[in-house]
Structure 1
């Protein structure tokens, strides 16, 4: 029983390894080699979940669950999240807080902080800093 509890606790503590694309036009491949099939091209700042890696490649999953390989050099340590639906960026981590910005589905927001009990502190590309609900974005 204690082994099961330890396993569950370790899974709950495991955070996703989210990385963002470092430039526009990054190619995602079917296998970790340049000669493999090119699946699609992705834009700068798009968050991807890193699943495993080699010296030069990272296996990733996108918001839709698609698995692919990307050159490690094409990923950034900056962390962005992607709106999964239209959302409001609020002044404080509170639903009654004033709305600073309405963002459309798929808008990318830089993640600044994830320590607000269900809220994320984010920054829009126009400089607006505020809070969104964690369930409104992918990549946190």
Structure 2
């Protein structure tokens, strides 16, 4: 009985951890990511507008984030948007007129491009929009930031 209870607690903890993922996108062009939560800390690199990051921790005016490569840094919280942009991690992401491989290919976005997530994933597909306003459906396996 104790073993069953322990197993249930571990499963619930894993589910809560998975639900706790918080992704945000950079809302300004040329935002620096820092080694520590201070403008006087060492700048690690600069990211562009729409770049998605996973928020690991929030602290006053700063957020500790992870990028698609696994790098961890600090960014001013004011530079983050709740708007969900996704990073293309495959060679290219095909966007179709309907969810499914039988949908007509509307356009493709190359690796490291970004698309805005319009609707949560369903059956391995999600609705996305390009910055130019073009929208459609793409496979979730082509993206980071979900």
Superposed pair shares fold, TM > 0.5: yes
TM-score (norm 1): 0.94
Instruction: Say yes or no: does 1:128 pair with 2:134.
Output: yes
Q: CA deviation at 1:54?
A: 0.6
**Number of equivalent positions:** 140
Q: CA deviation at 1:7?
A: 2.4
Instruction: Say yes or no: does 1:76 pair with 2:81.
Output: yes
Instruction: Say yes or no: does 1:111 pair with 2:117.
Output: yes
Residue 53 (structure 2) aligns with: 48
TM-score (norm 2): 0.91
SS of residue in 2 equivalent to 1:8: helix
Q: Deviations over 1:71-112 (max 9, x none)?
A: 000000101001002120011111111111111111110001
Q: CA deviation at 1:117?
A: 1.8
SS of residue in 2 equivalent to 1:117: coil
Where in structure 2 are there 5+ consecutive unaligned residues?
none
SS of residue in 1 equivalent to 2:115: strand
Residue 8 (structure 1) aligns with: 11
Residue 64 (structure 1) aligns with: 69
- C-alpha distance in structure 2 between counterparts of 1:49 and 1:135, whole Å: 17
Where in structure 1 are there 5+ consecutive unaligned residues?
none
Q: Post-superposition, which runs of at least 4 consecutive aligned residues in structure 1 deviate over 3 A?
A: none
Q: CA deviation at 1:127?
A: 1.1
Q: CA deviation at 1:36?
A: 0.8
- C-alpha distance in structure 2 between counterparts of 1:98 and 1:110, whole Å: 20
Give RMSD over aligned pairs.
1.2
